[in-house]
Amino acid sequence: MTDEVYRLYREGRYQEGADLVARARPHLPERDSRLTFWEACFQSMAGDPTRAVEILLAGTARGSWWPEGMLADRDLDAARILDGWSEVVAASEAHEQARMDARPAMRVRRVQGGGTVIALHGAHADPVEFADRWEADVPAEWGVVTPVGSLPVPEGGWSWSHDTSPRVDDVMQQLSGIEMVAPVIAAGFSAGAVLGIELVAGGFVEADCLILLSPYVPEPDDMVAVLSSLSCPAVLVYGAEDRESDTYESLSGAVSEVVVVPGIGHRLPQDLTAIFENAQRFSAAHGASRSTPAHPPPGSVPASGAM
């Protein structure tokens, strides 16, 4: 359904998108917050911001809420000046504050003779499920470290800060004291892929290979420049049906290898073992080597701060 929603949005078929989401929402209560938000955005873009506010207010009555970053979406510009908007914000802030103390701890599976995988989830992720996936698919002798984003989002998920320095600082604080046994593979999905680039390009993590799984690409030209400067191989992995596939093609010259997974859109591949094994071979083939990892004090990322 996600891919269909984004297709309708790209094509400017906003009312059709609103109708699609409205029909689906009652059958997917576990996704109420996300679907309500999509429906409101579609209605606002279709020229009915009043209806958008009504939809969001009805969502708050069901217990749905949205963080500041989502409510700042440009699709809702016309709705933010209307009566009822402040009530949406107040209800969301109360829910967000209540969630802050429920942040899951970073998962660490210790190395048993292999290397280390640093796995970085995307936005609106379930970090426990994400850690489960990587720990299940990476060989048991490898360590797996899965930091957790600092921002709570609806439906039990967590995201990273919208600004580079805070999210890099946060990850480095979580990694503090964790031994990174070489070889190190950094892997990130969507927004987590951008964070992986920032960590590696900024010298915060010395990786032997970087796996970029369907990365969020705000500025393709900027990302090409940063990827071209990396000191380790980078493997770009994305689904053949990903809505950003054209953008990913523009990055192909700046990475070491591109893997297109058939049959999926913007989501993790089903078989992470194959992705891991490919990155492991690729790293070895390029003779990646490293010394004891440096952990500089948290701060801004020089090369990728603009991303």
CATH number, residue 234: 3.40.50.1820
Q: Contact 118/184 with Cβ under 8 angstroms?
A: yes
**DSSP E strand boundaries for 169-220:** 184-189, 209-213
Give the angle 130-131-137 at the CA atoms, nearest 5°: 95
Please indicate, yes or no, if residue 300 is contained in any of the structural domains: no
Same domain, 214 and 271: yes
Please indicate, yes or no, if residue 13 is contained in any of the structural domains: yes
Range of the domain at 247: 103-285
Q: Could you tell me the two tokens for 53?
A: 């506010």
Spell out the residues 6+ positions from residue 235 whose beta carbon is closer than 8 angstroms to its own: 209, 210, 211, 212, 255, 256, 257, 258, 259, 275, 278, 279, 282
How many domains in the chain? 2
| pLDDT in the model for residue 184 | 93
Same domain, 37 and 7: yes
Give the residue from 198, 156, 167, 123 showing the smallest Cα distance to 33.
156
- Residue 26 exposed, middle or buried by CB count within 10 Å (0-12, 13-18, 19+): exposed
Residue type, 221: D
Give the residue from 76, 55, 72 showing the smallest Cα distance to 64.
55
| pLDDT in the model for residue 286 | 52
Distance CA 305, CA 223 (A): 11
Query: Cα dist. 279→82, 135, 249, 274, 276 in Å?
Result: 50, 16, 19, 9, 5
Distance CA 270, CA 260 (A): 13
Per-residue pLDDT of the chain (307 residues; tens, 9 = 90+): 787 898 899 899 999 999 999 999 999 998 899 999 999 999 999 999 999 999 999 999 999 999 888 899 999 999 999 999 999 999 999 988 888 888 899 999 999 999 999 999 999 899 999 999 999 999 999 999 999 999 998 888 899 998 899 999 999 999 999 999 999 999 999 999 999 999 999 999 999 999 999 999 988 999 999 999 998 999 999 999 998 999 999 999 999 999 999 999 899 999 999 999 989 987 776 544 444 444 443 443 333 333 3
Between β-strands 234-239 and 143-146, what pairing exists: parallel, antiparallel or unpaired?
unpaired
Same domain, 91 and 67: yes
Same domain, 28 and 160: no
Spell out the residues 6+ positions from residue 54 whose beta carbon is closer than 8 angstroms to its own: 84
| pLDDT in the model for residue 149 | 95
Same domain, 196 and 117: yes
Q: Contact 257/285 with Cβ under 8 angstroms?
A: no
Please indicate, yes or no, if residue 39 is contained in any of the structural domains: yes
Please indicate, yes or no, if residue 162 is contained in any of the structural domains: yes
| pLDDT in the model for residue 288 | 41
Distance CA 221, CA 202 (A): 18
Same domain, 91 and 159: no
Distance CA 218, CA 247 (A): 10
| pLDDT in the model for residue 1 | 79
Please indicate, yes or no, if residue 294 is contained in any of the structural domains: no
Please indicate, yes or no, if residue 79 is contained in any of the structural domains: yes
Same domain, 164 and 78: no
* Distance from the Cα of residue 88 to its chain's centroid: 25
| pLDDT in the model for residue 298 | 41
Same domain, 126 and 173: yes
